[in-house]
Amino acid sequence: MKTRIRYLFRLAALVSVLSLALTGRLEAQTFITLHHLSFDSDGAYPEADLILSGNTLYGTAGSGGTSGVGTIFALNSNGADFTTLHSFSAGGHNSSDYYTNNDGAYPVTGLILSGNSLYGMTREGGGSGIGTIFKVNIDGTGFTNLHIFTTSKYSEPLTNSDGAYPRAGLILSGNILYGTAVSGGSSGSGTVFTLKTDGTGFTTLHNFTRSDGARPAGDLILTNNVLYGTACQGGSSGNGVVFTVHADGTGFTNLHHFSATDLSGINSDGSTPLGGLTLLGSTLYGTAAKGGTSGNGTVFKLGTDGMDFATVHHFTGEDGTAPIAGLVLQGHTLYGTAGSGGSAGAGTLFRVNIDGTGFANLHSFTAISATSSTNSDGANPQGGLMLSGNTLFGTALTGGGSGDGTVFSLLLPPQLTIVRSQAGLILTWPTNVTGFTLQSTTNLVSNPLWTTVSPGPVVLNGQNTVTNAISGAQQFYRLAP
């Protein structure tokens, strides 16, 4: 029987082709549902980022499978050959209603790959019922528990030496894994930890105390032996923090405390940062699931020294609500997911430039059936996006043909550059992405007539190049798949 997992963090209700004339870039994209998950066979409710190795995507489903407590899966990047690599085992609830088993339960975190081994975590299960760290071969063999989180008591606050309920993914440097747990630790507010890939050397690098943050739920990043991350609660207002700590556990510092919100949940910078961070140069970029000028979340940036905090985008609801995952960066453009909102209230995929310009919804997930929770593309994306070439890959928590979530891809067009010259307009785009045709129209009113630009492109300096004379009516251009 299908049972939904108990989410530690649940936001309320799950906490267009662009064309440019004369200058700028054009966005057009092709959304593909690669796989519709099915609870009993595949797993269900994926909420973590995917990883790609060669032509194979790897991911986790937070529930479902043979025992109903989650799976590890693989599929080809074109959607073929879906395989369940591991179904987490059956167990039972102890006297305190914690789900215990041998290998862990509810893998809501993403995976990392090293050699032929995948590493990940489960949010519950294991001998104490509060999570595990595991390793498994890419063919599904050799499943091993590297660490089982421990506890001596189950009353709140749940305190221990290592942490509990990991929600974020692991990162790897050499043979050292780094991660976070949203609860446990000496104050019950979560930990930052490290562990060797052979399962030895578990060390708690930092115990959160609430005043310096609580509930670290986003992936860490590591650069120059310094870790950066977010905690979705705690800090000076209780709305979360951005923090840094050295890889040896020294030098913990709060870089930003998110400000208090009013009774409508509104503030200037956002609140409840659930996703991880992205680094470009000395600037960190991230999302806050709530707060901002509409209370629907923000995209933000700040320096690695904690200076120059700025809000890149305030979500309004129509463009998305509750961006709970981290961002992926291509050039100077950030791509991400919003778990709800958009045209059907089922979430969006978006992009925005690092300076806050150029925000656009790349895809709004369609409405789900009120009776079956199904649709064609999925709904409520909780995980971040993974970018390979010009294709974004991700998962949707719910929706799809069985209502159990989907795996999808979104093909982005190459960048179209338009400049003036004495000869007219010179339009160029890279040659390393195929399958797009340059089209033009004289207006952008409803149902515009797009025609293929002729003559077609020639290759100059490694770019597809078309020169058009400036004459007659205005022209709008796009690259269409």
* Domain annotation covers residue 174: yes
pLDDT digits (tens, 9 = 90+) for 226-277: 999 999 999 999 999 999 999 999 999 999 999 999 999 999 999 999 999 9
Closest C-alpha to 456, from 473, 475, 431, 432: 431
For tokens 């790609």, what's the residue? 52
Residues 374 and 455 in one domain: no
Residues 434 and 288 in one domain: no
Which residue, 396, 414, 432, sits at the end of a domain? 414
Contact present, 35 and 75 (Cβ < 8 Å): yes
Residues 146 and 282 in one domain: yes
Mean pLDDT of 68-94: 97
Residues 410 and 440 in one domain: no
Query: What's the rounded Cα separation, in Å, for the pair 337 and 143?
Result: 31
* Domain annotation covers residue 6: no
Residues 285 and 330 in one domain: yes
Residues 329 and 474 in one domain: no
Query: What's the rounded Cα separation, in Å, for the pair 96 and 288?
Result: 33
Q: What percent of the chain has pLDDT over 90?
A: 79
Residues 178 and 302 in one domain: yes
Which residue, 378, 399, 414, sits at the end of a domain? 414
Q: How many structural domains comprise the chain?
A: 2
Predicted confidence (pLDDT) at residue 17 exceeds the cutoff of 50: no
pLDDT digits (tens, 9 = 90+) for 181-235: 999 999 999 999 999 999 999 999 999 999 999 999 999 999 999 999 999 999 9
Domain of residue 316: give its range. 30-414
Predicted confidence (pLDDT) at residue 459 exceeds the cutoff of 60: yes
* Domain annotation covers residue 292: yes
pLDDT digits (tens, 9 = 90+) for 273-315: 999 999 999 999 999 999 999 999 999 999 999 999 999 999 9
Residues 252 and 364 in one domain: yes
Query: What's the rounded Cα separation, in Å, for the pair 276 and 104?
Result: 23
List the end-to-end C-alpha distance of the chain, in Å, as a whole number. Answer: 42
Residues 426 and 379 in one domain: no
Query: What's the rounded Cα separation, in Å, for the pair 421 and 471?
Result: 13
Residues 285 and 241 in one domain: yes
- What is the predicted pLDDT for the residue at 479? 85
Contact present, 64 and 39 (Cβ < 8 Å): yes
Residues 328 and 469 in one domain: no
CATH number for the domain including 300? 2.120.10.30
* Domain annotation covers residue 14: no
* Domain annotation covers residue 103: yes
Q: Where are the alpha helices (DSSP H) in 228-349?
A: none
* Domain annotation covers residue 381: yes
Which residue, 394, 414, 434, sits at the end of a domain? 414
pLDDT digits (tens, 9 = 90+) for 141-187: 999 999 999 987 788 889 999 999 999 999 999 999 999 999 999 99
Residues 305 and 439 in one domain: no
* Domain annotation covers residue 424: yes
* Domain annotation covers residue 385: yes
